[in-house]
């Protein structure tokens, strides 16, 4: 009987805790229950338990993803110059956003933004938070809007599936969440800020190493291709645009491809086979429309 008396309130409290899954709301909830006399340490323990749940990449907030992405982008831009041409930038952003609205994650913290890099290298990169880069060399390789849309949709797929955030070592996140959990003031004190800044740099290192040096894991590249086919067909672009691009990369041993794309992407031949399989599984395959190719050629004709 005594055990039941202890057990029932504990069970009910556990039920409340399960429902009060937002941490801040939990604190208010626990503190505002009249008649329930929880000691300060018990309240803190309950809150702490909830905070401890924040330990994987999926617990990174939209805002945090944005700030990580900003710094990763700044690092990318420390290695590349920008191709500063308003008309081309506007066109690439419009094609990119057309695909974004038919993606799995159309709205992110500050939206998706696309920038052309002034490099003959054939490459494209996507930082967390929707910062997407395509080199002039890759843009020149495209022959129509479908091909460009296929590449941008692949990069949007990386952001949508959070591949950048998944590249962060788990131990870093545990360290970061621990420091964040300690702090209760509105702003970080100098010590916490210094500790968190160190972890932040490690996080940037994990992502940029993958993004710029080694490339994402093979399975993430295949997933981004699968998402590219999906987003393209939902937008009514012919997903064969991705296939057409991959075809240009098969057996390409040019310096610009070796230094860019092939350093960070798996074999185009494997990807080509998989992409074709994805397309053959579609119920209907949208067709190319001439007006799209015309406007693509118009937009990139001044590309030097």
Span 262-281, contacts to other proteins by CB under 8 A: none
The H or E element containing residue 263 is: helix 261-264
Angstrom distance (rounded) from CA 86 to CA 172: 39
Closest contact distance (angstroms) between CB of 221 and other proteins is 23
Instruction: Give the residue, chosen from 122, 134, 156, 203, that forms a contact with other proteins under the rule CB under 8 A.
Output: 203
Helices (H), 20-81: 23-31, 40-52, 62-77
Tokens coding 96 = 């990119």
CB closer to other proteins out of 92 and 122: 92
Q: Return the closest-CA partner of residue 184 out of 51, 56, 54, 61.
A: 51
Closest to other proteins by CB, 10 vs 273, is: 10
Regarding 212 and contact with other proteins (CB under 8 A), the answer is no
Q: Shortest gap between Cβ of 66 and other proteins (angstroms)? A: 8
With 0-12 CB in 10 A as exposed, 13-18 as middle and 19+ as buried, what is 186? exposed
| Nearest alpha carbon to residue 203 among 180, 173, 183 | 173
Residue 89 or 248 having the CB closest to other proteins: 89
109 part of the interface to other proteins, by CB under 8 A: yes
Q: Which of 83, 114, 220, 231 binds other proteins (CB under 8 A)?
A: 114
**Nearer to other proteins (CB atom), residue 258 or residue 285:** 285
Q: Is 9 in the site for other proteins (CB under 8 A)?
A: yes
Query: 136 to 155, contacts with other proteins by CB under 8 A?
Result: 145
The residues, ordered by sequence, that sit 6+ positions from 220 with a Cβ below 8 Å of its Cβ are: 158, 161, 163, 166
The correct pick among 3, 34, 213, 304 for binding other proteins (CB under 8 A) is 34
Count residues near other proteins (CB under 8 A).
82
Report the site for other proteins in 243-262 (rule: CB under 8 A): none
205 near other proteins (CB under 8 A):
no
Return the number of the residue (103 or 257) whose C-beta is nearest other proteins: 103
Q: Does 230 bind other proteins (CB under 8 A)?
A: no
**What minimum distance in Å lies between the beta carbon of 218 and other proteins?**
27
**Is residue 61 at the binding interface for other proteins, with CB under 8 A as the rule?**
yes
- For residues 165 and 243, which CB has a smaller minimum distance to other proteins in the complex? 165
What is the distance between the alpha carbons of residues 242 and 225, in angstroms, rounded to a whole number? 8
Smaller CB distance to other proteins: residue 66 or 222? 66
Q: Who contacts 148 (Cβ-Cβ below 8 Å, separation ≥6)?
A: 92, 95, 139, 142, 241, 296
Q: Give the distance between the most distant pair of CA atoms in the chain.
A: 84
Nearest-Å Rg of the Cα atoms of the chain is 24
Q: State how far the Cα of 117 lies from the Cα of 100, in Å rounded to an integer.
A: 20
């Amino acid at each position: 009987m005594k055990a039941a008396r202890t057990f029932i309130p504990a069970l009910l409290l556990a039920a409340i805790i399960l429902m009060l899954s937002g941490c801040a709301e939990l604190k208010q909830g626990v503190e505002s229950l009249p008649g329930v006399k929880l000691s300060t340490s018990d309240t803190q323990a309950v809150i702490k338990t909830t905070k401890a749940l924040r330990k994987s990449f999926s617990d990174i907030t939209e805002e945090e993803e944005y700030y990580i992405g900003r710094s990763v982008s700044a690092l990318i831009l420390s290695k590349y110059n920008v191709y500063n041409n308003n008309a081309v930038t506007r066109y690439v952003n419009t094609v990119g956003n057309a695909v974004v609205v038919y993606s799995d994650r159309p709205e992110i913290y500050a939206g998706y933004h696309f920038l052309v890099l002034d490099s003959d290298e054939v490459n494209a990169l996507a930082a967390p938070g929707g910062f997407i880069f395509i080199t002039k060399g890759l843009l020149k390789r495209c022959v129509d809007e479908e091909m460009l849309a296929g590449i941008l949709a692949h990069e949007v797929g990386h952001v949508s599936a959070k591949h950048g955030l998944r590249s962060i070592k788990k131990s870093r996140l545990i360290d970061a969440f621990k420091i964040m959990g300690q702090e209760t003031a509105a702003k970080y004190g100098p010590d916490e800020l210094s500790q968190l800044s160190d972890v932040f740099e490690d996080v940037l290192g994990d992502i940029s190493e993958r993004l710029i040096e080694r490339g994402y894991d093979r399975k993430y590249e295949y997933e981004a291709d699968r998402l590219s086919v999906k987003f393209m067909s939902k937008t009514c672009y012919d997903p064969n645009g991705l296939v057409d691009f991959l075809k240009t990369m098969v057996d390409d041993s040019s310096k610009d491809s070796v230094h860019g794309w092939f350093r960070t992407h798996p074999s185009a031949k494997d990807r080509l086979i998989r992409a074709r399989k994805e397309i053959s599984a579609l119920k209907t395959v949208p067709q190319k429309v001439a007006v799209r190719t015309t406007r693509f050629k118009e937009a990139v004709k001044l590309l030097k």
